[in-house]
Amino acid sequence: MKLFLDTAHLAHIETASGWGILDGITTNPTLAAKEGLEFEELIERITAIVPGPVSAEVVAEDRDEMVRQGQALRKIADNVVVKVPMTQEGIAAGARLVEMGHPINVTLVFSAAQAILAANIGATFVSPFLGRVDDIANDGLHLLAEIVETYVVQGYDTEVLAASMRHPQHVVDSARIGADASTMPFEVMERLFNHPLTDIGNERFTQDWNAYQQALAERRSE
Ligand code: E4P
């Protein structure tokens, strides 16, 4: 499963890129608004760091303007993926963008029915929001499993991008269910590394190595 960061924060993107595990980026208007840069400049700077897909969202309400915005975003860099909302206008705009040869990510997906629409217009990615489903006391993982199963049965090419990750177990469960990619906040990606036994083990190895070197040094000086 590919690992994406769900952020527009350049310092976090640089850090995760340095880890060698970053496959792509998703942004949304809320995340972009936190960064204090012009949107186009922000996306350009992200694409300069990350060679994988970088999702940038259109914000218009009608399909013609969404298509115009999508085309403009695609001019920023080849790896920009146009994010369109799961609405009638968004799907209509997405279908046109796909016809023009642009990759799209259908966002704000909360049902398998919506995921079928995204696949049928040839979206590159579909983004079910697991965490937000859990937030309203429903089962985000059940939604993901339903979409993955439907896509396998139908042989759809659209990649399932599990979104709205709240914690590392969401990422693990998404991988087990068969998501193609998972997008998460920086803090969740950071926590994927952590295990207390790893810390204890590393500390013990360092102590033992230092004691070993000290014993050798003492023996040499005898
Ligand atoms: C995905 O592309 C969205 O940007 C994102 O995962 C939304 O997550 P949130 O529910 O944490 O805002």
Task: Report pLDDT digits (tens) over 47-106.
Answer: 999 999 999 999 999 999 999 999 999 999 999 999 999 999 999 999 999 999 999 999
Question: Which structure tokens are listed for 158?
Answer: 């659209």
Distance separating alpha carbons of residues 185 and 5, to the nearest angstrom: 6
The percentage of residues in the chain with a pLDDT greater than 90, rounded to a whole number, is 100
Q: Which of 129, 138, 144, 183 to mutate to test the pocket of ligand 1 (most atoms within 8 A of CB)?
A: 129
What is the structure's pLDDT at 174? Answer: 98
Nearest to 145, CA basis, from 185, 133, 137, 136: 133
What is the structure's pLDDT at 17? Answer: 98
Q: Which of 13, 27, 28 to mutate to test the pocket of ligand 1 (most atoms within 8 A of CB)?
A: 28
Q: What is the mean pLDDT of residues 167-183?
A: 98
Say what the pTM is: 0.95
Confidence tier at 146 by pLDDT (50, 70, 90): very high
User: What is the distance in A from the centroid of ligand 1 to the CA of 127?
Assistant: 9
Neighbours of 142 (CB within 10 A): 13
Confidence tier at 24 by pLDDT (50, 70, 90): very high
Distance separating alpha carbons of residues 33 and 117, to the nearest angstrom: 29
Find the length of the chain: 222
User: What is the distance in A from the centroid of ligand 1 to the CA of 216?
Assistant: 54
